[in-house]
Amino acid sequence: MNDLPAFVDVRDDTMREGLQIENREIPVEAKLRLLDALGETGLKTISIGSFASPKWTPQMACMDEIAQRFSPKPGIKYTAAVFNRQGFLRADKYYPKIDVRSRESVTHVEVGRVFAMRNYNRTPEQMMTSAESTVARAKESGVTSGAIAIGNPFGSNFEGDVTLKNAISVIETVMDKWHAQGLLVSACRIIDDMGAALPHTLAELLNAIQKRWPEITEYGLHLHNQRGTASICYYEALRMGVTHFDTSLGGLGGCPYCGNGRSAGHVPTEDFVYLCHELGIETGLDLDKLIEAAAIAEEVVGHPLWGHVSKAGPRPRGDSLYPRDLPFVETLEEASHFRNGPVVYEHQVKPWKADSALMTDGTK
């Protein structure tokens, strides 16, 4: 796993993880506007939100209205997060407009105990028992392989560091449940709500899993970014051949259960797509449309987000190079000239005269 992939699947989760920790009073109209903007970016799958209990996630209390009112765009599969039978039945009312049926068989287990109980109201042992039921249903359905999701294998804000040995032990236990049913595991998703992952610890874990279980050929990452390391980890993962990455516009998101709130955002979709394109990796996504969607996301939530490319624009080349007599640019609003034009900086200082060395220099 040393070559960069030719294509990666970027899974934007703005509508679910992004909005679930924002102001519960955001109007449905604004959410529909954001969902529509996401549909213009080239995404092939979009989660419209979470059919969770309004008691615990009041930001998602409007899910039925959104499901009824949004206009699906051709070529996009719309889905939603469901966490129990009740949530599934609520979402499934809107099939095929919203598809929560086409879900791979996944066993999700948490490495840490405290977060498992805080976030899922279950112990790791209970999650492992649930995994057994998932595998049994997969066997009955006739599938030949499944997927595992490992939560927080790098450390916990409540329990401290997790050793590689401990993480592999948990993975081994859940892998054994698949193998006991005669099923292989073809995909592994690594989740880090704690912002504990570092490039070298991620590489160690990926290398250990790949060496131990070569049957796993697809890897996905869902890393929160409260300590600024998730983007670096994603680059390391690209170098190791990982092809599935969760992101959100502007890094929007967070986790109410990890202790970091909105600071536990995500890797900004537009930043990661820019990186991939600069590395020659295809994503199928329109970066300009993502930047516009990120701007809309800021308007919808009412505060600045954490993306960089949406503020400064992609690296200019060719016809998009800045004019050499560009005035001073100081504010974020002025920096938006790459998409809003010179009107945002026309009031600024422009000290270079027509006969200055800058303007008379004949070199490019």
Six-digit token pair at 40? 């213009």
Helix (H, G, I), strand (E, B) or coil at 245: strand
**DSSP string for 5-33:** PSB-EEEE-IIIIITTTS-TT--HHHHHH
Q: Which two tokens stand for residue 329?
A: 């640019």
User: How much is the pLDDT for 364?
Assistant: 62
pLDDT digits (tens, 9 = 90+) for 86-133: 999 999 999 999 999 987 899 999 999 999 999 999 999 999 999 999
Q: Where are the alpha helices (DSSP H) in the chain?
A: 28-38, 63-69, 85-92, 113-120, 124-141, 164-180, 199-212, 230-239, 269-278, 287-301, 309-312, 332-335, 337-340, 357-360
Q: Which residues pair with 220 in a beta bridge?
A: 189, 244
- Sign of the torsion formed by the C-alpha atoms of 142, 50, 9 and 184: negative
SS3 244: strand
77 SS3 class: strand
Instruction: For residue 344, give the DSSP letter.
Output: G
Rg for the chain, CA atoms, rounded: 22
pLDDT-derived band at 352 (thresholds 50, 70, 90) equals confident
pLDDT in tens, 127-172: 999 999 999 999 999 999 999 999 999 999 999 999 999 999 999 9
The number of residues making up the chain comes to 364
Only one residue has tokens 């504990």, namely 196
Helical axes 230-239 vs 269-278, angle rounded to 10°:
30
Strand, coil or helix: what is 301?
helix
Spell out the domains of the chain, with CATH numbers in brackets.
104-312 (3.20.20.70), 318-360 (no CATH)
pLDDT in tens, 256-280: 999 999 999 999 999 999 999 999 9
Query: Coil, strand or helix: which one is 145?
Result: strand
Q: Mean pLDDT in the chain? A: 96
pTM of the complete model: 0.96
Concatenate the DSSP letters of all residues of 198-210 into one string: -HHHHHHHHHHHH
